[in-house]
Amino acid sequence: MLPKLFFGFLITVVAIFALLLVLVIVGGIIAGLLAPFLGNVPVSYNLRSIRARWTSTIVAIIGIAGTVGVFVAMLSLANGFKATLVASGSPGNALVMRAGSPTEMMGGISLDSVKLVQDAPGVAHDSSGPLITQEVVGVVPIPLISTGTDANVQVRGVSPNVLQIRTFVKVSQGRMFQPGLSELVVGKNASKTYSGLTVGNTINFGGGHWQVVGVFDAGGSAFDSEIWCDAKILNQVLLRPPNIFQSATVHLDSPASFQAFKDSVTSNPQLNVDAIREVDYYAKQSTTMTRLITVLGGLVALIMAVGAVFGALNTMYSAVAERGREIATMRAVGFSTWSVILSFLFEALLISFVGGLIGCFAVLPLNGWTTSTMNFQTFSSIAFAFKITFRLLGLGLLFALVMGVLGGLLPAVRAAIRPVAVALREL
Amino acid sequence: MVKVDGSGGQSSLIQVRDLDKTYRRGGEVIDVLQGLNLDVEAGEFVAFMGPSGSGKSTLLNLLGGLDVPTRGRITVAGDEITHMSSGRLTEWRARHVGFIFQMYNLIPVLTAFQNVELPLLLTKLSKAERRSHVETALGVVGLTDRMHHFPRQLSGGQEQRVTIARAIVSDPTFLLCDEPTGDLDRKSADDVMTIIEELVGRHHKTVLMVTHDPVVAARASSILHLDKGVLVEGKHASQLTGAGGVA
């Protein structure tokens, strides 16, 4: 009973402290940014003081720039990974897997089930019939161009009409594979990353010889890191049971038809499947890795931020120490405590803002730069690009301002509350 | 006429009654000012003299609202400042007091013009009005041609003249000068004192000045000595420097 009460009290205290800290930071940022309008101390005083102490200012700026750079880079990495996976899904497609399967890799759906699914309401049709692709996924080792060492590549067996279902995928070089043949089309990232995945080349895996006949562009989605072939052939090569697939993807009449489709397939007693919007499936797939990158990146940025805040604190404390008599003089001639606090906050925010801007600009060249990592859901490599957005840059600048407030507030208060008569006597 | 016995009337610009100031240093209690009384009429020029540690600067800080007394009362132009909050005291200083410091205390990163303009930034004057006031103040101290110079580009005497311009630009009720010539050569000190005399004589300013220098003190209309925290009337200017007056 007593420990419970104690922890309850502790959590309340921590929550109040956190709330106060947030209020101080938000209030500090707003007040500091409005200082030129709210306070009386001329901005030229701050600008020239910063210039006069340029060495310590540069140290603080570099510290903040580095922290913001890492912060934005990490977030852009997570953002890029998520965007790559989310782009793989289309809102007009639905993925059908065995009920309870968290991923395609663990799914299993028979041809009989596929036939029932394709007759469900909401499934789009073209002249050749219902738009459905039953798929088989596997992982095969292919050497990396960069190191020559094997890396896991996701190979996806698809139906020949897959391009009518995933309409954003285009064959950019060569042609589509022919059904019934050991032919491959490879994603553009896979083609650039792995050895032998060029049109006209033949590679071996799963005991078979495969000819690369085309390269496709999947619009920067995860499919760009995959290689595609005929599902039936892949099933044979991987020695899997015939007519058993891992998932089926249907193209719907419209995104609005999804609920009717899902209700139909999940309520059909002959089926033991679940349906999910393709876009939601891939968003869910990205969660683990995105969270991992965000948490690890956040930790690194947090540790760096502590250093940067101390840098800013040092800069502002030395500014206050160097200018003790100036501040006292201003207060003697009538500048209020509030004006002095605002002035120093403004100065700290200005330094941190410049640091933030530099940090943001420094990582901008990373935007679009492609890297790859293991997708823990498929155990295969996935290529994705750093994706720096205006939102991330805004977050980076906000992060810089938070560091500015934390580094500038205490010295500002110290400057303002020091007894004037004492400070005037300082040499 | 300056009085130190508490017999001044309500018409005095500055009234100080039973003023005590005590500092604590560790466990030791130091009585700097004890039961001090003072009455200063408007337009007077009073010099405070006394040995180091006698409380001259402490008195000036108390009169200027930079410090608060342990006991007693200070009234300036009808405002009792001893019980004002810190914020009100700051506003009061901006309206009523012009400070002239020994070390000038100019802001090094601002030009002479901007330094003088500082007190006016606390007023509602327009930019043009501020410019006009600053130019007038710099004209009084003879530095209109140096207004765009930074303090490091000025001599000590010129810096002190800028300080005087800053002190008078908002037309305060009185000026407090803490060793205004303490860091200057004799010629510059003489120039500065001439300006202060003009402020009293021509512009009817009330000036309270702390100095160690009897020659400088002699230019005041009254001299008061602080000794062991108590004020006593001193010799008149002419008596200090001989029949010839100011050296």
Instruction: Let me know whether A404 and A378 are in one domain.
Output: yes
Chain B within 8 Å of A37 (Cβ-Cβ)?
no
Chain B within 8 Å of A424 (Cβ-Cβ)?
yes
Which range marks the domain in which residue B135 is found?
43-67+93-237
Whether B12 maps to a domain, the answer reads no
CA atoms within 13 A on the CB side of A238: 23
Minimal C-alpha gap between A45 and chain B (Å): 7
The residues that bridge with A161 in the sheet, in sequence order, are none
pLDDT score for B59: 92
Taking the C-alpha atoms of residue B87 and residue B13, their distance in angstroms, rounded to an integer, is: 22
The residue among A373 and A179 whose pLDDT is bigger is A179
Cβ-based contacts under 8 A for chains A and B: 70
Closest residue by Cα to residue A215 from A233, A198, A234: A198
Average pLDDT over residues A51-66: 86
Tens-place pLDDT, residues A289-299 = 778 878 887 88
Which range marks the domain in which residue A321 is found?
31-86+286-424
CB atoms B109 and A45 under 8 Å: yes
% of chain B exceeding 70 in pLDDT: 94
- Looking at A271, A304, A331, the residue that finishes a domain is A271
pLDDT score for A149: 86
The tally of domains found in chain A comes to: 2
Query: Structure tokens of A64?
Result: 């903040």
Chain A within 8 Å of B66 (Cβ-Cβ)?
yes
Q: Do A329 and B105 meet the contact criterion of CB atoms below 8 Å apart?
A: yes
Instruction: Let me know whether A80 and A160 are in one domain.
Output: no
CB atoms B109 and A330 under 8 Å: no
- Looking at A237, A271, A305, the residue that finishes a domain is A271
Chain B within 8 Å of A423 (Cβ-Cβ)?
no
pLDDT score for A133: 92
Q: Which of residues 115-154 of B touch A (CB under 8 A)?
A: 118-119, 121-122
Closest residue by Cα to residue A300 from A78, A52, A3, A37: A78
Instruction: Let me know whether A254 and A396 are in one domain.
Output: no
Name every chain B residue with its beta carbon within 8 A of the beta carbon of A416: none
pTM equals: 0.73
B61, B95, B107: residue with CB nearest A326: B107
Instruction: Let me know whether A316 and A339 are in one domain.
Output: yes
Confidence of residue A212 (pLDDT cuts 50, 70, 90): very high
pLDDT score for B143: 94
Closest residue by Cα to residue B242 from B223, B215, B221: B215
CA atoms within 13 A on the CB side of B1: 6
Average pLDDT over residues A392-420: 87
Instruction: Let me know whether A109 and A254 are in one domain.
Output: yes
CB atoms B94 and A334 under 8 Å: yes
**B163 has a pLDDT exceeding 70:** yes
Minimal C-alpha gap between B25 and chain A (Å): 14
- DSSP 3-state assignment of B185? coil
Chain B within 8 Å of A329 (Cβ-Cβ)?
yes
CB atoms A334 and B95 under 8 Å: yes
Q: Is the dihedral of CA B124, B129, B131, B133 positive or negative?
A: negative
Instruction: Let me know whether A323 and A380 are in one domain.
Output: yes
Closest residue by Cα to residue A386 from A70, A172, A149: A70
Tens-place pLDDT, residues B166-197 = 999 999 999 999 999 988 998 999 999 999 99
**B241 has a pLDDT exceeding 70:** no
Q: Which of A99-103, A362-366, A376-380 has the highest mean pLDDT?
A: A362-366
Name every chain A residue with its beta carbon within 8 A of the beta carbon of B114: 42, 44-45
A334, A419, A420: residue with CB nearest B122: A334
Minimal C-alpha gap between A328 and chain B (Å): 9
One DSSP character per residue, A309-344 reads HHHHHHHHHHHHHHTHHHHHHHHHTT--HHHHHHHH
Beta-strand pair A202-205/A244-245:
unpaired
Whether B27 maps to a domain, the answer reads no
Average pLDDT over residues B188-210: 93
The torsion defined by the Cα of A163, A164, A167 and A169, in degrees rounded to 10, comes to 0
Read off the CATH number of the domain in which B99 is found.
3.40.50.300
Q: Residue B102: CB partners within 8 Å, gap ≥ 6?
A: B178, B179, B180, B182, B183
Whether B172 maps to a domain, the answer reads yes
pLDDT score for A407: 84
CB atoms B99 and A332 under 8 Å: yes
Taking the C-alpha atoms of residue A130 and residue A118, their distance in angstroms, rounded to an integer, is: 6
Query: A337 φ, ψ to 5°?
Result: -55, -45
Confidence of residue A377 (pLDDT cuts 50, 70, 90): low
CB atoms B114 and A330 under 8 Å: no
Confidence of residue A237 (pLDDT cuts 50, 70, 90): confident
Whether B213 maps to a domain, the answer reads yes
**A380 has a pLDDT exceeding 70:** no
Lowest mean pLDDT: which of A98-102, B5-9, B29-33?
B5-9
pLDDT score for B247: 30
Taking the C-alpha atoms of residue B91 and residue B94, their distance in angstroms, rounded to an integer, is: 5
pLDDT score for A397: 93
Chain B within 8 Å of A322 (Cβ-Cβ)?
no
pLDDT score for B244: 36
A44, A51, A52: residue with CB nearest B114: A44
Tens-place pLDDT, residues A252-279 = 999 999 999 999 999 988 888 889 998 8
Whether B119 maps to a domain, the answer reads yes
Average pLDDT over residues A236-243: 83
Minimal C-alpha gap between B105 and chain A (Å): 6
**B51 has a pLDDT exceeding 60:** yes
B91, B101, B103: residue with CB nearest A334: B91
Name every chain B residue with its beta carbon within 8 A of the beta carbon of A37: none
The continuous run of DSSP H or E covering A205 comes out as strand A202-205
Whether B30 maps to a domain, the answer reads no
**A127 has a pLDDT exceeding 60:** yes
Q: Is the dihedral of CA A157, A160, A163, A166 positive or negative?
A: negative
**B243 has a pLDDT exceeding 50:** no
Tens-place pLDDT, residues B212-237 = 899 999 999 999 998 888 888 765 55
Tens-place pLDDT, residues B105-120 = 999 999 999 999 999 9
Taking the C-alpha atoms of residue A384 and residue A153, their distance in angstroms, rounded to an integer, is: 14
Whether B166 maps to a domain, the answer reads yes
Name every chain B residue with its beta carbon within 8 A of the beta carbon of A417: none
Name every chain A residue with its beta carbon within 8 A of the beta carbon of B124: none
Q: Which of B109, B120, B125 is the best substitution to test chain A (most A C-beta atoms within 10 A)?
A: B109
**B144 has a pLDDT exceeding 90:** yes
CB atoms A419 and B109 under 8 Å: no
Confidence of residue B242 (pLDDT cuts 50, 70, 90): very low
% of chain A exceeding 70 in pLDDT: 97
% of chain A exceeding 90 in pLDDT: 24
pLDDT score for B236: 56
Confidence of residue A183 (pLDDT cuts 50, 70, 90): very high
